[in-house]
Amino acid sequence: MTFTATNPATEEIISEYPALDSAGIDNALVRAHGAFLKWRSASVAERAASMTRAAEILESEIPVVAELMTREMGKTFAAAKGEAMKCAATMRYFAEHGESMLLSENLPTKGSRSGLRYEPIGAIFAVMPWNFPLWQVVRMAVPTIIAGNVVVFKHASNVPGSALYLEDLFVRAGFAPGILTTVFAAVEQVPAIIADPRIVAVTLTGSERAGRSIAAEAGKNLKKCVLELGGSDPFVIASSADMEHTVAMAVTARIQNNGQACIAAKRFIVVHERADEFIEKYAAAMGAVQLGDPMDPSTELGPLVSSAQRELLATQVSSSIERGAKVLVGGVVPERTGYYYPATVLTDVPEDSRASCEELFGPVSVVLEARDLADAIRIGNDTPWGLGASIWAQDDGEIDEAIAGLEVGTVFANAMVASMNELPFGGTKFSGFGRELSALGAREFTNVKSYFVA
């Protein structure tokens, strides 16, 4: 197997790296385990100092690494710069707050002293996706490393440059080799890595199918597993919504990262009394989205990551149209070099169509009409996934009803769903389990040790 980066805008091969053999993987695990034996004894303040330095270096190199991400997976240059800045901010956040998140806690019992300690457990194996080449790794790794663990990660095969950049960044920031290690491992090598005794836990961000496979291997080896999987996030428009703001944010929520985000809004559920207004304005706004070169500042929507991803999306749309879905804008693959697909809006989507039943990983919106807010919440929950959701309303009662009723890991009101350092991030149902970010994320891969002194 070869890790190959292809520019989705030009279809040109950028770089190629061979997968490691078993000896190469073993060397990486030896290095990671050795680094952990020293790193676990470092104070949180020492860990934070290196993390702050990593943030400083990253901030000084944002244009360089942003161009790398754009060339490897096609996100707009502006979005890539935003991703890099967010990564640096997360490094700074956990450097500043990690110590308080990991402090021992005193709990009252009949003993003279008792409580909890949060202790690192070892090398965590992470399987990472291509859609946010830096952020997905940083979101998982930074809190985990601050807690005293080390991370070995297998990145997606089409973003090898981003993987190598992150490993090199940490070394240049003063982290010992092995604290953050990338392994160019083939899929068939993953079970052996998970089974290796030097790996103590595993996490994956990716598809539901990949999640099932990783969870099975982790369970077989009695190792903790955290999964962040797909989503079909509902964007619920209530009666009291500020329509101008809602429409503008609906476009951003759907085309962010060229529509390739697990938490991107995918189903737009609008109550009957506002449906005509929303559909008319939203279709017009999506039709005006500028498709083009992701390095061009005027471009709003770049290419999909690969020809296979575009073919899948186009097939999902065309098969749904055959079953009766109506296309308001988009829906046609443009004749140009690059893996481009236009901003697309579907209505009258049959419940048994692919656009209704599958995650659409690209800039395609499904607009659904509900009788009222309760019905909109019911439709929003009518999916096997439960990652994120948003409610658009000015009435506090409608906001609270949606927050309470939507069966997801995260609900945002009058803002598009996002991962934030201060809040736990993760899903429910088939969107996975476990949490990243916040204090919960910092503690996710720790031994929560209880102690009691008589």
Residues carrying an active site annotation:
228, 262
List the structure tokens of 109.
């019992």
Residue 346: phi and psi, rounded to 5, are -115, 140
DSSP letters for 295-332: TSTT-SB---S-HHHHHHHHHHHHHHHHTT-EEEE--S
**Helical H runs in 174-228?**
190-195, 208-220
Q: CB of 8 within 8 A of CB of 303?
A: yes
Q: What DSSP state is assigned to residue 31?
A: H
Residue type for position 142: V
Residue type for position 420: M
CA-nearest of 19, 368, 41, 13 to 163 is 19
- Rounded to the nearest angstrom, the gap between the alpha carbon of residue 343 and the centroid of all alpha carbons in its chain is 21
Residue 115: phi and psi, rounded to 5, are 170, -155
Residue type for position 111: G
**Sheet strands side by side (includes 344-347):** 326-329, 344-347, 364-370, 265-271, 233-237, 388-392, 410-413
Q: What angle do CA 260, 265, 268 make, to 5 degrees?
A: 135
Tokens 């996706």 belong to residue:
129
**CA torsion 412→418→423→428, rounded to 10°?**
80
